[in-house]
Structure formats: structure tokens, C-alpha cells
A and B are shown apart, each in its own frame.
Chain A
Amino acid sequence: DGGITQSPKYLFRKEGQNVTLSCEQNLNHDAMYWYRQDPGQGLRLIYYSQIVNDFQKGDIAEGYSVSREKKESFPLTVTSAQKNPTAFYLCASSIRASGGPLGEQFFGPGTRLTVL
């Protein structure tokens, strides 16, 4: 089945460590996104990528980094510079990000990151 996978589902990290969250899609979508969700809140955009080897900062990019070396993969690194990293992280993809009907965003199941 086509879809988006995120791993791991739960992740624990010690303060001061970098950690990388995985996001893979087999939908052949050009655009991919990372969101952060805090308890009881809506989603906030961290980074997005419209095409391979390209990405742009979202509203809350500080303390995060991404790469887009392959169309199907968009990993997110939470660095030690992120002051409050404990949150639910969601990855999404869509057919395209501009230049025509944009289509819906498909979301993965999320990774719940806890900093100890």
C-alpha cells in the first residue's frame, strides 16, 4: 500500500543529544513537510521541501535541520539547539507544492519525542 511511514513511533533522548526522525513516502510526491504539535495545540510547520535537494524553513525552524537527497525521504534532525524539543512530530507529503492543483496533504502516523 502507498503511504507515509515515520519511525520510530516513540523516541527518548537525553538533553544535549541530536536525534534524527525518519520519514519515507512511496506516493511519488514531490513535496514533503515536517510539523510539530504540542499537547492541545494545532500543528506548526518546521520545514518543507518542494523538490529533491531543495527545502525551506517554516515558522519554527530554529534548532532543526533537514535534508532531501531522495524524493521518497525527508529526515528531520532535532539538534541540541532546540530548547524545548519534547513534542509530537508529523511528516506529510503532497503531489506538488506549486504550479497547479496542489492536492491534499497525506500525513504519517507521527513520532512522539521525549527529552529526558
Chain B
Amino acid sequence: DAKTTQPNSMESNEEEPVHLPCNHSTISGTDYIHWYRQLPSQGPEYVIHGLTSNVNNRMASLAIAEDRKSSTLILHRATLRDAAVYYCILRDDNNAGNMLTFGGGTRLMVKP
């Protein structure tokens, strides 16, 4: 799977929007962009995924660049419960096994 690059950490104020960037310059045409997050001492949970178009769900929005070499996870109003490590992952649908390759992720800190 192609590699992703994320900042190690970011800070946000409570109730403000958060934009978490991810670079994936070597993305292939069949790679989906997935985001998971991991709260302290818990297993990761799925946040959102997309291929080409921007996506919205109850947790977040995913904005994908036109050339697909970068994407941004948007939390519209950060809460203290959103403090977690956010992982941006590329997954090739041709990849038998549905394996996810986790990098270091971005640790989001939310200040009250």
C-alpha cells in the first residue's frame, strides 16, 4: 500500500473546527483513503473513507484534493472526546486480505 504522511501532533480549542491533513503523493487509482482514530487505551475506530469525491458522515467530513495526492479530515466542532490519534490509511481494493497499514498518525489535543 502507498505511504501517507501526517503531522505528529496538532492542537485545537474546544468547539472550534479541526483540519487534519494527510499527504499521499504516491496514491494509486484503486487506493481508497481511510481515516481511523484511536482514543487512549482503546482499539481504533473507523471514522470515514473516500475515493475521489468529498464525503460527509455524522462524525466528520473528508475533503480529497482533485489530484488525490492529499486529503483533509475535518471535525466541524472539536470536543474533548475527540482527543485521539488519527490515522490516515490508503487501502487498495485489489489488496486481498483487506489489510490496513497504520503509520504513526496525528495526535490531536483538544484544549477546553
Contacts and interface: CB of A to CB of B under 8 A. Distances in A.
Interface of A: 4, 31, 33, 35, 40-45, 48, 50, 56, 58, 90, 92, 94, 96-98, 102-110
B99 interface: yes
A2 B100 CA distance: 22
Interface of B: 34, 36, 41-46, 49, 87, 91, 93, 96-105
Contacts of A92: 43
B47 to A, nearest CB: 9
Q: Secondary structure of the B side of the interface?
A: loop
> For A42, A96, A98, which residue has the most chain B Cβ atoms within 10 angstroms?
A42
Nearest to A101: B93
B44 A97 contact: no
A40 B43 CA distance: 14
A9 B45 CA distance: 18
A107 B100 CA distance: 12
A36 B43 CA distance: 11
